[in-house]
Amino acid sequence: MEAKTSVPAEAPTAADVLAADARLRPHVHRTPLLRSALLDGRAGASLFLKGEHLQKTGSFKIRGALNAVLAAAEAGARAVVAASSGNHGAAVAYAARAVGLPATVVVPASIAPAKRAAIEAYGGRIVVAGDDSETRLSKARELAAAEGAAFIPPYDDPRVIAGQGTVGLEVLDDLPDVEAIYVPIGGGGLISGIATWVKDRRPEVAVIGVEPELADDTHGSLAAGRRVALKAAPTIADGLRALTPGELTFPIIARLVDDVVRVSETEIVEAVFFLMTRLKQVVEPSGAVSVAAALRPAAARRRVAILSGGNVDWRALWPALSETLARHGL
């Protein structure tokens, strides 16, 4: 990682994470830390899994979305709009329904059918726009302005980041002697929130971001010392296909995160396969990247990998999973 940058003034603080925890506690699950002797043996260390795939709506996204939607409702919002590849949209739709607000979600044409179905099941109105995150975000902002609705960003928002930071708060509460936390990176909201809390309370704990090699915009931006954009992000981890780091999240990551590592498509699918067949946990590729990295040799003896979501697009995953089954003689 290159030289650190200053954290923006609008970035949330540990106090904001604590306030978000108080606001969210009645509404979200306190997800477990999962562990198995088999997992420890593979890692050569004590490896715990933070089960956000067991969270309401099937991912960590409900934390930030609900924190932002509750704040918007308190400020008088009459409707909300979001842009999402799936999980954030489902979380916003769920949160909006909980407070009685209509929600519109701008999604890519390639959205996983299961994720689209979840958004609609929670009452969200679907608008399709392109296949990249920038197109979706632009369309969502346009709709919010035209309809007088509150825009709920997927990651570049202090309220969203603070909500995601409650994952880190729970990890430190439940495992005070953790040495390293592995976190998937898409737009950067989850790792920004976790790092905000962890580096305030336990600065010696390593916060390690994980990206697919085919969607390594944060890794490349850190190397360049500025935000750079990818032309495409054709990874199987559909929730991590951001083409450029967030304007707010990138400086937080650059300042607070210890390292960002990349994992191959094969490592990702192998992690999904291992979690499903040996630990009986259904985790989407975006949520399994952390395990792929945490299984590598490292100095930290007590590690936590964040399983960020469990909303699997089986039609997209099956070809790669079939190859993995063949490699294992199954």
CB–CB of 140/156 below 8 Å? no
Residues 193 and 100 in one domain: no
Residue 8 within any structural domain of the chain: no
pLDDT at 5 (0 to 100) = 64
For residue 143, what is the domain's CATH number?
3.40.50.1100
Q: Answer yes or no: do 191 and 101 share one domain.
A: no
Contact 208, 257 (CB under 8 A): yes
Give me the tens of pLDDT residue by residue for the chain, a chain 330 residues long: 554 667 777 999 999 999 999 999 999 999 999 999 999 999 999 999 999 999 999 999 999 999 999 999 999 999 999 999 889 999 999 999 999 999 999 999 888 888 899 999 999 999 999 877 778 889 999 999 999 999 999 999 999 999 999 999 999 999 999 999 999 999 999 999 999 999 999 999 999 999 999 999 999 999 999 999 999 999 999 889 989 999 999 999 999 999 999 999 999 999 999 999 999 999 999 999 999 999 999 999 999 999 999 999 888 888 888 888 788 886
Secondary structure letter of residue 149 according to DSSP: P
Among the listed residues 9, 64, 82, 58, the one whose alpha carbon sits nearest the alpha carbon of residue 310: 58
**Does 113 share its domain with 247?**
no
User: Strand locations in the chain, DSSP E?
Assistant: 33-34, 46-51, 80-83, 103-107, 125-128, 150-151, 180-184, 206-212, 259-263, 302-307
Task: Return the closest-CA partner of residue 271 out of 184, 168, 178.
Answer: 184
Which residues make Cβ contacts (< 8 Å) with residue 158, sequence separation at least 6? 10, 11, 12, 16, 248
> What pLDDT, on a 0 to 100 scale, did the predictor assign at position 330?
66
- Report d(CA 231, CA 48) in Å as an integer: 35
Question: What is the per-residue pLDDT for 106?
Answer: 97
Residues 169 and 136 in one domain: no
Domain boundary among 124, 151, 178: 151
> What is the structure's pLDDT at 3?
44
- Can you give the residue range of the structural domain that contains 217? 14-59+157-327
CA 135 to chain CA centroid, Å, is 20
Amino acid identity of 135?
A: T
Distance CA 165, CA 21 (A): 9
Q: Domain check: are 225 and 318 in the same one?
A: yes
Provide the whole-model pTM.
Answer: 0.94
**Beta-bridge partner residues of 208:** 182, 259
